[in-house]
Amino acid sequence: MRIRLINPNTSAAMTEKMAVAARAVAAPGTLIEAVTPASGPVSIESHFDEAVAALGVAEEVRRGEAEGAEGYVLACFGDPGLLAARELARGPVVGIAEAAFHVAALIATRFSIVTTLPRTAIIAEHLLAQYGYAQHCRRVRAADIPVLDLEDSGSAAYARIVEECLRARDADGIGAIVLGCGGMADLAQAISRDIGLPVVEGVTAAVKLVEAVAGLGLGTSKFGDLAWPPAKRFTGAFAGYSA
């Protein structure tokens, strides 16, 4: 099958890193097409960033539908524009936060999340409540690093993430860690070795869930609120969306 992996930020290096991780777990015959929007924030660290990025996500789904994509991975832990993307898609659309929560709950009764900044920890808490996983998560922890530090091999990002994971392991009474940023897609196995706990990373989890849903012959329902958006006129900068 053909999965379009959408990095909602505009960091091409991060897109490629996530593509490598996705291809490493994809089943034989699955093609991972990793794309970066032409416009948007270079990193996503706020509600405003997510709102802007959601437009790029929608545009990449529209392109994917025209080009024959059969499923989508929305590769930002805030899952920006997820429901809008599902409105536009025939196949399954899976956000990496939702995927990571699902998988972590399958392998442990309690997990903690380690993310980048304190403000994005709050966003993750909102998603836990929205998706019904708040009771499974003991704590959302922030390593207090900017997202783009994950792209700098000379930064202390990895060490700070591991330190926070160790604190979670020793203090939270958990069975697994969820990494709370798509930019951590290449770190899960190394961190798991360093801390001795299962570590769930959302990009790879989402790829396997898209494959599973599609393998069941299922796509996004076009009844109810995920039906195709109603045709209407858009104005100004969005006139191109008019039907």
Calculate what percentage of the chain has a pLDDT beyond 90. Answer: 95
Average pLDDT over residues 4-17: 96
Residue owning tokens 């948007």: 40
pLDDT of residue 153: 72
Q: Tell me the CATH architecture of domain 97-202.
A: 3-Layer(aba) Sandwich (3.40)
State the burial class of residue 90 (Cβ atoms within 10 Å of its Cβ: 0-12, 13-18, 19+): middle
Residue owning tokens 């769930």: 200
Residues 21-52 pLDDT 10s: 999 999 999 999 999 999 999 999 999 999 99
Domain boundaries, the chain: 2-96+204-241, 97-202
If one looks up domain 2-96+204-241 in CATH, what number appears?
3.40.50.12500
pLDDT of residue 216: 98
2-96+204-241 and 97-202 share one CATH topology?
Answer: yes
State the number of CA atoms in the 13 A half-sphere of 99 facing the CB. 30
Burial annotation 145-175 (CB, 10 A radius, 16+ → b, else e): bebbbbbeeeeebbebbbebbbbbbeebebb
Average pLDDT of the chain, as a whole number: 96
